[in-house]
Amino acid sequence: KYFDLIQFSKSLIEEMEPNKKEGQTIKIINKTPFIEVYLDSKLLRHVLSNLLSNAIKYSPVNAKITISITQEEKWISVQIKDQGIGIPVEEQKDIFQRFFRAKNAINIQGTGLGLYIVKQYIELMDGTISFKSNPKEGTTFFIKLPLKPKQNEKNLID
Ligand code: ATP
Ligand code: MG
């Protein structure tokens, strides 16, 4: 159940390779070479691949996407940053709702379920998700996840 989040993210980026548009790059920024986490890897994979596929889909060719991973005292924070079309300010409050699609995204394929599921999964992992978006600069999602299992959960499993 413990695994290295850096290696995990690197292989996920490789898996996303075929989805990228021409010239798009995905880079990982990490200060430490390993970050051991105790999380449900299926849920985490789903979350990160959804956010990365949005970053790809809502960004033009040649855009840069970065994932920054930092370990804090009790949390890991993951930021996924793109240089895409952004989310119109007046619609930002709705983006985690089921079937929501922003008006600047109507010509781009999607069902509006991705972020709804992402949010549910983050909550199942006892984490939080927020974002900052600006139609001129792009979008950054901020995830915080617990570094270690809750004490009671750990006792049950170990
Ligand atoms: P899917 O269910 O296939 O993921 P989707 O991408 O439309 O479809 P969500 O991932 O839930 O659905 O995203 C909801 C809406 O939020 C999108 O339709 C888009 O308008 C906006 N959005 C999400 N991520 C980004 C992003 N990185 N940049 C710009 N807009 C975004
Ligand atoms: Mg999506």
Its ipTM equals 0.99
pTM over 0.90: yes
pLDDT of residue 156: 60
Contact 140, 81 (CB under 8 A): yes
pLDDT of residue 153: 62
- Going by C-beta distance under 8 Å and a sequence separation of 6 or more, which residues neighbour residue 113? 98, 99
What interhelical angle do 5-16 and 41-57 show, nearest 10?
40
Ligand 1 cavity residues, CB under 6 Å: 54-55, 58, 82, 84-87, 95, 100-102, 105, 110-116, 139
- For the chain, residues with pLDDT lower than 70 are 152-158
Tokens representing 122 are 């983050």
Atom of ligand 1 nearest to the CA of 101: 18
List the residue whose alpha carbon is closest to atom 27 of ligand 1: 55
**Radius of gyration (Cα) for the chain, nearest Å?**
16
Instruction: Kindly report, residue by residue over 127-148, the tens digit of the pLDDT.
Output: 999 999 999 899 999 999 999 8
What interhelical angle do 114-124 and 41-57 show, nearest 10?
150
pLDDT of residue 6: 98
H helical segments located in 26-65: 41-57
